[in-house]
Amino acid sequence: MPTVSAAFAPLRNWLMAPSWLIVGFFLVLPVLLMLVYSFLTKEFRGGVIWEPTLAAYDQFLFDRGLFGDAPPRLQWAYIQIFFRSITQAAGATFFCLIIGFPTAYFIATRADNAKVVWLFLVTVPYWVNLLIRTVSMKFLIRDNGPLNEGLTALGLIDAPVQLINTNVAVQLGLFYSYLPFMVLPIYAAVERYNFALSEAASDLYAPKWIILRRILIPVVMPGIVAGCILVFVPSLGAFLAPDLLGGAKTFMIGSLIDEQFKGNAGNWPFGAAAAMILLLLVLIVLTLYARSQSRSKV
């Protein structure tokens, strides 16, 4: 570590201490707590009884009938919720990418002082609480909300289009919540992109779309992947947008977990087990990605 000056050398090992403390206290500890909870027995009014059991995982994966004495069958309900969550998150990621990439490219290619303004505008919605933004989205898209009334007034539609309580509404909510997470990393990558590469490709007889496909996108790929992870992961566990904008048919894993910890009806070990399964899934995806990256670097 030649960059650490000699004066700080004795402190070297302690400089990371604050970060370790925060990561340990607010990340590692809660996750461990959930891990432990997922193996405990539920208390009926919320909370746990300190008796180790696999009941929570069993409940997630297997259906043992109403009284718990039938032969175990695979429990499809939760797995379906899982797949629906993955599909919704993938969809949100896709739409964020389709809209976010051109936006990021546009901002990154502005003059320096204009960039600052555009970036500021991208972050403006974040000055308002996510809950409030999601609720206002609900008002915007409801059957007699401004969107439907506007379209009707313009004569584009005869009757209100039902958006609220549909997958489209959840998509819209997720897209709106996480778009900046896509725009910012891609912006950073495109900002660093050397546009002489595009010129070189053009000089070597490449038409515009080939330059985009074979030069620009591969070179800024780390930014694209970072954006996709930053949108996909929180979308997967999101519960605000699905709860407020979707209905029973759009129930997602985040809402499922959320419900287990709410009020007296919850089941803490079950919620913790679902969270652990979700975490495992995310870790597997990220590990696979990291593997593929380190292989392509060689």
Partner 1 sequence: MGRAISMQALSGAAPAAAIVLRQVSKTFGDFTALSAVNFEIGDNEFFTLLGPSGCGKTTLLRLIAGFEDTTGGTIHLYGEEIGNLPPNKRPVNTVFQNYALFPHMTVWENISFGLQMLGWTRKDIDRRVGEMVLMVKLDQFADRKPSRMSGGQQQRVALARAMAPRPRVLLLDEPLSALDLKLRQEMRTELKRLQRETGITFIFVTHDQGEALSLSDRIAVMSAGEIQQIGPPSDIYEYPANRFVAGFIGETNLIGAKVTAVGKDVLTCELSDGEIVHARSDAPVSEGRAGSISLRPEHLTLSWEKPVGESLRGEILEVTYLGTDMQYRVRLSDRLHLDVRHQNKNNAIVAINPGAPVYISIADNAARFLVR
CB-wise, 13 or 113, nearer to partner 1? 113
DSSP assignment, residue 206?
-
Q: Does 13 bind partner 1 (CB under 8 A)?
A: no
To the nearest whole angstrom, how small is the minimum distance from the Cβ of residue 194 to partner 1? Answer: 7
Under rule CB under 8 A, how many of the chain's residues touch partner 1? 18
Rg (Cα) of the chain, in Å, rounded? 24
CB-wise, 200 or 288, nearer to partner 1? 200
Least Cα distance to 225 among 171, 172, 290, 169 occurs for 290
Q: Does 28 bind partner 1 (CB under 8 A)?
A: no
To the nearest whole angstrom, how small is the minimum distance from the Cβ of residue 206 to partner 1? Answer: 5
To the nearest whole angstrom, how small is the minimum distance from the Cβ of residue 229 to partner 1? Answer: 20
CB-wise, 155 or 218, nearer to partner 1? 218
To the nearest whole angstrom, how small is the minimum distance from the Cβ of residue 107 to partner 1? Answer: 22
Q: Does 112 bind partner 1 (CB under 8 A)?
A: no
Phi, psi dihedral angles at 99 (to 5 degrees): -85, -35
Distance between CA 218 and CA 62 in Å, rounded?
Answer: 43
To the nearest whole angstrom, how small is the minimum distance from the Cβ of residue 102 to partner 1? Answer: 21
* 5: its two tokens: 């000056």
Residue 105's SS3 state is helix
CB-wise, 214 or 249, nearer to partner 1? 214
Q: 76-108 and 112-123 are packed helices; what angle lies between their axes, rounded to 10 degrees?
A: 150
Residues 173-232 that bind partner 1 (CB under 8 A): 194, 196-197, 199-207, 210, 214-215, 218-219, 221
> By the 8 A CB rule, do 41 and 55 touch?
yes
How many residues appear in the chain? Answer: 298
To the nearest whole angstrom, how small is the minimum distance from the Cβ of residue 208 to partner 1? Answer: 8
In sequence order, what are the residues at sequence separation of 6 or more whose Cβ sits closer than 8 angstroms to the Cβ of residue 148? Answer: 141, 142, 157, 160, 161, 163
Binding site for partner 1 (CB under 8 A): 194, 196-197, 199-207, 210, 214-215, 218-219, 221
